[in-house]
Amino acid sequence: MRVDSFCVFNFRSVEDSGWIDCNETTTLVGVNESGKTNILKALWKFNPVREGQIDVLHDMPVTKLSEFRNKIEQIKFISVKFDVYNEDVKKLEELSGNVISGLEYVIVSRYYDGQYEVKYSDQTRIEALKNDEENEDKKEYILLSKAVEKIMPKFVYYSNYGNLSSKIYLPHALRWIKGEKVQGVEVNEEQVRTLKVLFDFVKLDPQEIMDLGKDPKVVAMQRNRSSAEATPEEIKKAENDKEQRSILLQSAGGHLTEKFKDWWKQGEYKFRFEADGDYFRIWVSDLVRTEEVALELRSTGLQWFLSFYLIFLMESQKENKNAVLLLDEAGLTLHPLAQKDLVRFFESLSENNQIINTTHSPFIIDSSNIDSCRVVYVDESGHTIVSSDLRQGAGKLNEKSIYAVHAAMGLGVSDVLLQGCQIVIVEGPSDQYYFNGIKTFLIKEKLFTPLQEIVFMPSGGVKGIAGIVSMVSGKMDDLPYVIVDSDKSGEDIRKKLVSTLYSGNEKKVIEIKEFSDIDNCEVEDIIPFDLQKRSIDRLFNKVEDAYFEDVYEAEKPLVYQVEQFAQNHGLELLKGWKVDVAKDVKKQICKQRKTDICNDYIDKWKRLFVKLNK
């Protein structure tokens, strides 16, 4: 099951976030105090791997606490929509004892009393395997709902505040791990959580480590003997205990070193654990700096990666391999270039785990996947709002939050101009989404290997193509490729380009009709209709007793048919509808395998990208 979208209600500063669409990696962008952490905490408490208990006193909005606290079973704080795949349906059938058909998604809500509520897609049919009177519809739904709860993914939350300390006082650590407080010492719960995971991971018992290091004189005094002198037997035992402790610590440090090396590719680090009396210490060295240094004296970036590694490995990989990772202000202590490396690291993690992260740094935003950003800001009433509409981007309330996105786009353009990428000019953002999706699919399925990074740059319509080409070509040694639709406006701009700027370079102006037999074709016509159907259906959800799919003709341009269908039913399509469809279709393309898509379309895509790969 995969998170398609979610909505937070009545949780801290969030009254109603609105439905938030999720990609494989989704970035919530906003200034400090905008409510980004509250959004992540609500998701975490929806179904945490560990901890993440619901705290009515602190999680309910203060203004509604007196009204809601006595009816927690009626107040939900989050709903999550999950896409359901064939393997999920099989698991649900096995667990519930029901035959299920037509199940495309489920919406699971959680209430403040901890209970879940499950709703199913409209076409779902559930049939009992046994036809006896006990299998009533209600019972079937209860069984199925419990099965959904069992297979839905867990959520792992991590913030910078959980970074490990290199010097740990074991008596305090033991009490904190047990949930007890230490008088006069403030506890960092996130740090304690990481500490627990560390000891679990290296298979060390902090109580055992402390006991093995006891001084024999102290042991003698604890036994209430008149003499504090230890016996020869006690001294020998203490020597053996300390040797055992040293070997255990050496083994644990070696284990962490070996595992971390497989995961962290930016340097080879060696970790050593040391116990000095009641203190547990972590020392670090590497191939360049061979002298050992306490962990807290190394870079905060290394501290963050090590601490996150432990949480990730133990909470998502051990028992919940498809967990959703919630990363709060990830990597803000890293150098900007390391933050950009972190974005690429997220991409590799997202192959097996969905990621939802928060940031206010433009370096954490992937400029080639701006559609994965959601802007978080505070409205006039002081409530947290989340929006995926980056096209507006202005407005007094969210202009500060959107700044990081604009900065990232500027950085992305600078990178393109300065680093010699293969730039391809396209008409608009919808084309950019489609081609980025196709590129990701082809590379992922090992059907295409780019000679250099291919970056699709929207021109804002056919009228802007010539201007963008002039700007970009001034920074390049050669003219960029241009892809245009084969409608009238596309044909006109092609004629203009090949007679002026591209005279002698006509092959660099590519028309969609080279890959489609449809007259007046556009980019949408080289995308399988099955991948576009869901998004188009949403455009016409108010139309009764008529379905676009029933009148769709594969030999005609799709965009023209959508506009005609809307006109025939008296609907006005919203401005930017093509972009909204393209964003969803891009997600669909990226999830596909080569066996899921007709070979005719794959051949078209490969031919197009081979032309660009020169």
34 neighbors 401 (Cβ within 8 angstroms):
yes
Q: What is the DSSP letter of 551?
A: H
What backbone phi and psi angles, to 5 degrees, belong to 181?
A: -105, 155
Distance CA 604, CA 503 (A): 26
Nearest 10 degrees: Cα torsion 556, 558, 561, 567 = -160
- Which range, of 184-198, 239-253, 512-526, 574-588, averages the lowest pLDDT? 184-198
Q: What mean pLDDT value characterizes the chain?
A: 82
Q: Match 């009515």 to its residue by tokens.
A: 56
Determine the pLDDT at residue 217. 63
* Beta carbons within 8 Å of 233's beta carbon, 6+ residues apart: none
Q: Match 């990696």 to its residue by tokens.
A: 25
List, for residues 40-70, the tens digit of each pLDDT value. 999 999 999 878 899 999 999 988 998 898 9
Question: From the DSSP assignment, how many helices (H) and strands (E) are in the chain?
Answer: 21, 22
Q: Tell me the pairing of strands 355-359 and 324-328.
A: parallel
Q: What is the helix, strand, coil percentage profile of the chain, to 5?
A: 50, 20, 35
More confident position, 79 or 141: 79
Strand partners, 117: 109
Q: pTM value?
A: 0.60
Number of C-beta neighbours around residue 98 at 10 A: 21
CA distance to 427, 451, 517, 536, 582, per residue, from 487 (Å): 12, 31, 13, 21, 18
Q: Is 504 left (phi over 0), alpha (psi -120 to 50) or beta?
A: left
Which pairs from 127-130 meet CB under 8 Å and 24+ separation? 127/98, 127/99, 127/100, 127/101, 128/97, 128/98, 128/99, 129/97, 129/98, 129/99, 130/97
List, for residues 221-258, the tens digit of each pLDDT value. 656 555 567 778 878 888 888 888 889 889 988 888 88
H/E stretch holding 155: strand 155-159
Distance CA 422, CA 451 (A): 9
- Hey, what amino acid is at 220? A
List, for residues 93-125, the tens digit of each pLDDT value. 888 887 888 888 999 999 999 999 998 887 777
Burial class (CB within 10 angstroms; exposed 0-12, middle 13-18, buried 19+) of 350: middle
Q: Tell me the pairing of strands 269-276 and 14-16.
A: unpaired
542 neighbors 571 (Cβ within 8 angstroms):
yes
Q: What is the DSSP letter of 365?
A: S
Sign of CA dihedral 40, 45, 47, 49: positive
Select the highest-mean-pLDDT range: 74-78, 159-163, 280-284, 310-314: 74-78
List, for residues 392-439, the tens digit of each pLDDT value. 444 555 555 555 555 554 545 555 544 567 889 999 889 999 999 999
H/E stretch holding 314: none
Residue 303 has pLDDT above 90, yes or no: no
What backbone phi and psi angles, to 5 degrees, belong to 206?
A: -60, -30
Q: By three-state DSSP, how is residue 557 classified?
A: coil
Distance CA 565, CA 570 (A): 9
Residue 131 has pLDDT above 70, yes or no: no
The arithmetic mean of pLDDT across residues 468-491, rounded, is 79
Distance CA 426, CA 461 (A): 8
Give the chain's end-to-end CA distance (angstroms, integer). Answer: 40
- Give the residue from 88, 155, 157, 110 showing the smallest Cα distance to 7: 110
Determine the pLDDT at residue 260. 84
Burial class (CB within 10 angstroms; exposed 0-12, middle 13-18, buried 19+) of 575: exposed
Say what percent of the chain tops pLDDT 70: 83
Distance CA 326, CA 388 (A): 18
Q: By three-state DSSP, how is residue 156 classified?
A: strand
